[in-house]
Amino acid sequence: MLVELRHIVDQHLIDRYEWDDSPSPGVWFVHDTQSYLVMQRRHRYKLINGQYELSSIILLVKQQCQPADATFVGHGWVIGDPECRFNALSPLLRCAVLPEGPCDFCMHRDHRI
């Protein structure tokens, strides 16, 4: 499958390559020694013999290293402590109380019910 990597801000083309399984939004991956976070995923289709077929995938990414406190939970990556009730359970935002982290020293850290 043809996959295009594009920057999320100005959508300039970073690279184009063949990939069997492209990552979903909220996933970090390394390409040519650079770490990226997938922000959006778009599909392009072709009409062939009256049916639409997936022809390529566009990944809108931003260059970002995977945080040291990122953990994989059932639905995907989470930054910070997923057991804290204030955690956003997101790869983009740690929490509303202390978004820049770290969770270890947060006085509002509370176990999720």
Give me the residue spans of the domains in the chain: 2-63, 67-108
Residues 6 or more apart in contact with residue 63 via CB below 8 angstroms: 34, 35, 36
The pLDDT of residue 4 is above 80: yes
The pLDDT of residue 16 is above 90: yes
pTM of the model: 0.72
Q: Three-state SS for 105?
A: helix
Alpha-carbon distances of 45 from 39, 54, 57, rounded to whole Å: 20, 4, 9
Q: Are 28 and 77 in contact (CB under 8 A)?
A: yes
Q: How far apart are CA 81 and CA 69, in angstroms?
A: 8
The pLDDT of residue 113 is above 80: no
Interval 28-32 mean pLDDT: 86
Which pLDDT belongs to residue 21? 81
The average confidence (pLDDT) of the chain is: 88
Residues 6 or more apart in contact with residue 105 via CB below 8 angstroms: none
Interval 66-92 mean pLDDT: 86
